[in-house]
Structure 1
Amino acid sequence: MQPYTVFPNPPIEDNGPVCRSFLSMGIHDFHQACGYVHELPYGYNSDRDDLMILFKEKMGSCTTKHAVIAALAAEMEIAVEKHIGVYPMTEALVTGANAILDRFKLPYLPMVHCFLVFEEHWIDLSEGNQNGKNGPIDDFLYTEKVIANIPGKDEYLLYRRALNEHVLTRPEFYDINIKTILKAREEGLSLLRANIQQ
């Protein structure tokens, strides 16, 4: 992943509701907006499908942080896109993962993360946050471009499709079914939430 300074940095004009939200806070260019979102505390919002929830709750997850900046980019006509990736959760990346992997007999736990893409650059505005992980995610099993504020239901369906088409086809998942992964995923989400609180 690369820093958000690889993005273009035009001034923010009154081009839509996300632009207006940043302007109302005295944030006047794209880099300032990215910096503001990056510095917000990492946390799971009460309604991830509400694009403006990040401004209301003054925190965000990778989902809501990248939704806001991708939506801002769209209003400003900057070619920044939101992507969803499925990554392998391991003990090295998330402390406590081994207990889940052992219980479900998995080589790693496929989990969802999202980030931004500009040209050939990948940018993660939650990197360096207290996000439950021990470091950046550099390895993805599958990635796909999505709309800025993809609904949670659609993201879950994308995840299931990615599991079926790109993860369960791998030799290390021979004899493992999708139900096992989905049960393990619930524990993985709980683990990430617990790690954030520490």
Structure 2
Amino acid sequence: MLNFLLPQNGSLSKLMIENGVYDFKSAIAYVHQLPYGRTSDRSAYRLIIPEQKGTCSTKHAFLKQLAVESQQETVQLFIGIYQMNESNTKGVGTILKQHQLEYIPEAHTYLKINGKVLDVTRASTNTTSFQNCILAEEEILPHQIATHKVDVHQNFLKQWISEKQISYSFEEIWKIREECIAALSASLPH
């Protein structure tokens, strides 16, 4: 696992150092233990520290920016669209079954370090990794976690509905997806 000391002069590094975290490996552990939850501003990834919670987007964007401050270019931030189902995302199966869907394409944000996926938000209880179900992925920058991620996800869903001749409208699929996210959130520790 890549590790390096955090610089004294970076704004995110200073936040970490104030919390007794001095290197990247310890920062990963610190961010990993934060409860899952949306911050008050989904694009302001630095809020994961004062608000003590984060999503896949905010947690991974924070770590990516921490690596940028440390001039570590081998840490990359990605959006992946994967086939979300019960086997790789515990808690969504009941909702999908109610709507007779095998899966819904879901956007997930994660890191790659030297080409290896690092995900600080996934539970280890899943029987299948989301990595085995990726339909598309794109490298992004931390500031792209809000609007750009939603645009990529929604455009993918619209194309998927059309290509797979899904019997639901985009609005209906988005509502079902939100039900899945609510069920997933309810199953996670807070």
| Alignment deviations for residues 111-139 of structure 1 (CA, whole Å, 9 cap, x no partner) | 1211101232111112337xxx7354232
Percent identity (aligned): 28
In the alignment, residue 184 of structure 1 is paired with which amino acid? Answer: I
In the alignment, residue 165 of structure 2 is paired with which amino acid? Answer: Y
Where does residue 174 of structure 1 map in the other structure? 165
Q: Secondary structure at the match of 1:49?
A: coil
- Please report how far the alpha carbon of residue 197 of structure 1 lies from its aligned counterpart in structure 2 after TM superposition: 5.2
- Please report how far the alpha carbon of residue 54 of structure 1 lies from its aligned counterpart in structure 2 after TM superposition: 0.7
Structure 2 residue corresponding to 1:26, chosen from 20, 26, 46: 20
Where does residue 112 of structure 1 map in the other structure? 107
Unaligned stretches of 5+ in structure 2?
Answer: none
| Alignment deviations for residues 59-93 of structure 1 (CA, whole Å, 9 cap, x no partner) | 22211110110110111111211111112122223
Q: Distance in 1 between matches of 2:95 and 2:17?
A: 44
Q: Distance in 2 between matches of 1:169 and 1:72?
A: 39
Structure 1 length as normaliser, TM-score?
A: 0.81
* Equivalences for residues 1-198 of structure 1 within 5 A: 5=1, 7=2, 9-79=3-73, 80-128=75-123, 134=126, 136-138=129-131, 139-165=133-159, 167-168=160-161, 173-176=164-167, 177-196=169-188
Summarize the Cα distance change of 1:26–1:175 in structure 2 as closer, same or farther, 3 Å threshold: closer
Q: Distance in 2 between matches of 1:11 and 1:103?
A: 49
Cα RMSD for the two superposed structures: 2.4
- Please report how far the alpha carbon of residue 17 of structure 1 lies from its aligned counterpart in structure 2 after TM superposition: 0.7
Aligned length: 186
Q: Secondary structure at the match of 1:142?
A: strand
Structure 2 length as normaliser, TM-score?
A: 0.84
